[in-house]
Structure 1
Amino acid sequence: MSENRDKAGPDDSAFLLVVGERVRNARARRGMSRKILAKDSGVSERYLAQLESGAGNISILLLRQVARAMDLPITEFLGDRAPLTVDQALLLRQVEDLSSEQLQELQAFIRDRFGVASSVKRHIALIGLRGAGKTTLGQILATTFGLQFVEIAKEIEVEAGLSLNEIFDLYGQGAYRRFERRALERITADPAPKVIATGGSLPSEPATYAHLLTHCFTIWLKARPEEHMGRVVAQGDMRPMAGQSEAMADLKRILAQREALYARADMAFDTAGRTAEQAGADLVIALRAHPAWLAREAAE
């Protein structure tokens, strides 16, 4: 016992803070409240609050429950991994200081040099937080270009044979993510080009987002936090008005967590200050002038 007490110290506290921050950030990326995570994981809200603040020394089994509720490996929080080979360690060291643009250039080189074929991006996918205008602008794009419009939320319900509420109530967040991935794979496997309105948290799932970026010309619809909330309320959802200051803080945190992910899209379009009609017309013009879209049209 004395040996264990002697080993405890600042490093242990720092580790608990890191684990708590990773859990909190993962929850924010998914837009999950602590209440929802508690329900899906079976871990109390109070315990989760202690964990996220770095004050809770959670057991491995409980942490596994939290990870499963977010459909993540437990290593996402602990940072455990198999030992790297010398070559892997050297390669990681060489790329760790590269900018996002340089990393994307490196990815393109690896793809071309080692024969990883790039598929033609037949579909258009709209990403962004709820209230960005994905449904409205998606329908405008579909009409303009003569494409089918698809909402991933409805396709998830088709995949599961359940409503979204039933999926979450019966099976939780992890099941929703699996149905989301299956629905996306089914949609993109169809060669008929489509416009796809995605869920706001899809980019936080690496494998699902990578599939989207590979098979779809992806457009990030941007807006100010106040506009996101105002549009959601205008749609008849009054929940953000309850505890508005806290809701706005959560919204800004989610945007901050996802911004780098959203920025991986082929194109970004700012809807701020535009009516739906103005945004739709301007988006069509911007899309037709985009080099990547022109290349896609040439390939078609």
Structure 2
Amino acid sequence: MNRNYTELPSSAPSPHAADEEAGRPDRAERTGEREERDPFLTAMGERVRLLRARRGMTRKTLAAETGLSERHLANLESGVGNASVLVLRQIAATLNCPLAEVIGDETTASAEWLLIRELLHGRDQAALQRARMALAEMFAQAPRDPHRKDRIALIGLRGAGKSTLGRMLAQERKVPFVELTRVIEQLAGCPPAEIHSLYGASAYRRYEHRALEAVIQEHERAVIASPGGLVSESGTFNALLSHCFTVWLQAAPEEHMRRVVAQGDLRPMSGNKEAMDDLKRILAGRSELYGRADMTFDTSEKTLADAYLQLRDRLAARLASESPDEASAS
């Protein structure tokens, strides 16, 4: 690239630091490797690791917020966690029902829920998407947002170009440019990093949702740069999809890392291999969520000028081709 994308420094945890211990097995994990692992526990551990990566939480943070030890979480994620869950699994298998029915969740509350689950079981992603859109249409509580196509929301990890390209789009479209992180900071009265350290990740997500609601209420037309982890909270992400035309700005992991360093964050330079592995893990964990965006645009190996012109033209073509009905579907 001839020029790096430069975004304003962010006080929120950067992607490369978001999963810092995930690639570093401790003694408990190394011991676990010598033990025979149950495939079910291993898969459950991987799901916990994936959920943590999507939310950009370190194992240390998760341990602090749950009151569990880091060693216990390391065992769980490596597939040598509390085997008592296997007893519940055996009971579920004997009773010929999903484990969720034994544990109990909302989808086991009634026979209708169970029938819906059975209807959706085994469907491919395209079929599930059609079902979700049909349900959203059926249960819509409010009329479709007539300004959805006038709010352009950029999603993706830090370093994809959300701030740089977002400002350029806003200037040409003659609309406000809004960085949601700044709105969160204004609402909380402190930087996002302090929200995390003082009140925890759940409090930060609440501020994130409030900030999005405030921006939607205030701006009928805008270009919005959203925090990378917003997609991990379904309520907030669904609100973004409903009220904004979303664009996932992609980049190769190496591009993300190079741009973050260009912004002045030199932390990736220490333990670069681990930082890169962490970033790839977060990208993999969030890719399905980012993929719900209305449009995807890859900024890798493009000059800033080329990236902006191509993004602008593709965006204009997509917006022009969509009817009001189509624009509300994500």
Shared fold (TM-score, shorter chain, > 0.5): yes
Q: Which of 96, 113, 123 is 1:88 aligned to? A: 113
Q: Cα offset for 1:95?
A: 2.3
CA 34–40 in structure 1, closer or farther in 2 if over 3 Å, else same? same
Q: 1:37 & 1:43 partners in 2: Cα distance?
A: 8
Q: Which residue of 2 aligns with 1:100?
A: 125
Q: Cα offset for 1:191?
A: 4.1
Q: 1:78-116: per-residue Cα shift (whole Å, max 9, x none)?
A: 964142533332222222333333333333333445565
In structure 1, the gaps of 5 or more residues are: 1-11, 61-74
Q: Cα offset for 1:184?
A: 0.7
The structure whose RCO (Cα within 8 Å, separation 6+) is larger is 2
Is 1:265 the counterpart of 2:293? The answer is: yes
Q: Which residue of 2 aligns with 1:168?
A: 196
Q: Secondary structure at the match of 1:290?
A: helix
Q: 1:97 & 1:123 partners in 2: Cα distance?
A: 35
Q: 1:270 & 1:168 partners in 2: Cα distance?
A: 30
Q: Which of 54, 58, 63 is 1:29 aligned to? A: 54
In structure 2, the gaps of 5 or more residues are: 1-36, 86-98
Whether the 8 Å contact between 1:157 and 1:164 is mirrored in structure 2 is: yes
Q: 1:133 & 1:59 partners in 2: Cα distance?
A: 46
Q: 2:83 & 2:124 partners in 1: Cα distance?
A: 35
Q: Which residue of 2 aligns with 1:254?
A: 282
Q: Which of 207, 217, 241 is 2:235 aligned to? A: 207
Aligned pair count reads 273
Bigger mean CA offset, 108-117 vs 283-292: 108-117
CA 190–227 in structure 1, closer or farther in 2 if over 3 Å, else same? same
Is 1:226 the counterpart of 2:254? The answer is: yes
Whether the 8 Å contact between 1:222 and 1:268 is mirrored in structure 2 is: yes
Q: Secondary structure at the match of 1:150?
A: strand
Q: Which residue of 1 aligns with 2:71?
A: 46
Q: Cα offset for 1:182?
A: 0.8
Percent identity of paired positions between Structure 1 and Structure 2? 48
CA 156–103 in structure 1, closer or farther in 2 if over 3 Å, else same? same
Q: Cα offset for 1:36?
A: 2.9
Q: Cα offset for 1:53?
A: 1.5
Q: 2:264 & 2:137 partners in 1: Cα distance?
A: 48
Q: 1:25 & 1:238 partners in 2: Cα distance?
A: 26
Q: Which of 85, 104, 118 is 2:144 aligned to? A: 118
CA 292–97 in structure 1, closer or farther in 2 if over 3 Å, else same? farther
CA 179–292 in structure 1, closer or farther in 2 if over 3 Å, else same? farther
Q: Which of 147, 164, 185 is 2:175 aligned to? A: 147
